[in-house]
């Protein structure tokens, strides 16, 4: 497997949504470096923000009222540099695939121009009551496709 090369933030599409987050004391290990699992929580927070700001879909209503879940079915990350306590980072999701009951994202995390890590996420859409996969809802599918087109 070839190791990916970090991309500068300026290489990402200008139209892409960016979730600005601060690395806090509680995000770090005793050495002041972001604990690897924290990045997955930050990724989920970025996705919640992205839904409302870029897709025009209320993430919380999708789950609580419509009972459609959007959990990670697959998650992996390539780490390029450590995140540090006090950093201000930008998390930028890009749609890579829209399937029947899932969609793929690449989420780039930058501190300034430096890419700290890149996550590859597959999100499954599920019926939260039946706990089964369901097709990506039509409004979400359309919003994902429109965002993907804007960022192409």
pLDDT digits (tens, 9 = 90+) for 57-113: 999 999 999 999 999 999 999 999 999 999 999 999 999 999 999 999 999 999 999
Q: Residue count of the chain, please give it.
A: 152
pTM of the model: 0.96
Q: How far apart are CA 141 and CA 55, in angstroms?
A: 10
HSE-up of residue 150 (Cα within 13 Å, Cβ side): 14
């Amino acid at each position: 497997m070839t190791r990916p090369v970090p991309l500068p933030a300026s290489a990402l599409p200008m139209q892409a949504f960016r979730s600005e987050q601060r690395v806090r004391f509680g995000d770090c290990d005793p050495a002041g470096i972001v604990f690897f699992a924290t990045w997955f929580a930050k990724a989920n927070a970025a996705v919640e923000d992205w839904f409302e700001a870029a897709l025009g879909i209320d993430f919380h209503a999708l789950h609580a009222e419509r009972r459609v879940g959007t959990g990670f079915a697959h998650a992996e990350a390539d780490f390029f540099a450590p995140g540090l306590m006090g950093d201000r980072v930008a998390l930028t999701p890009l749609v890579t695939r829209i399937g029947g009951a899932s969609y793929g994202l690449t989420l780039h995390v930058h501190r300034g121009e430096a890419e700290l890590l890149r996550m590859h996420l597959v999100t499954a859409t599920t019926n939260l009551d039946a706990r089964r996969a369901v097709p990506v809802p039509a409004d979400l599918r359309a919003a994902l496709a429109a965002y993907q087109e804007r960022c192409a």
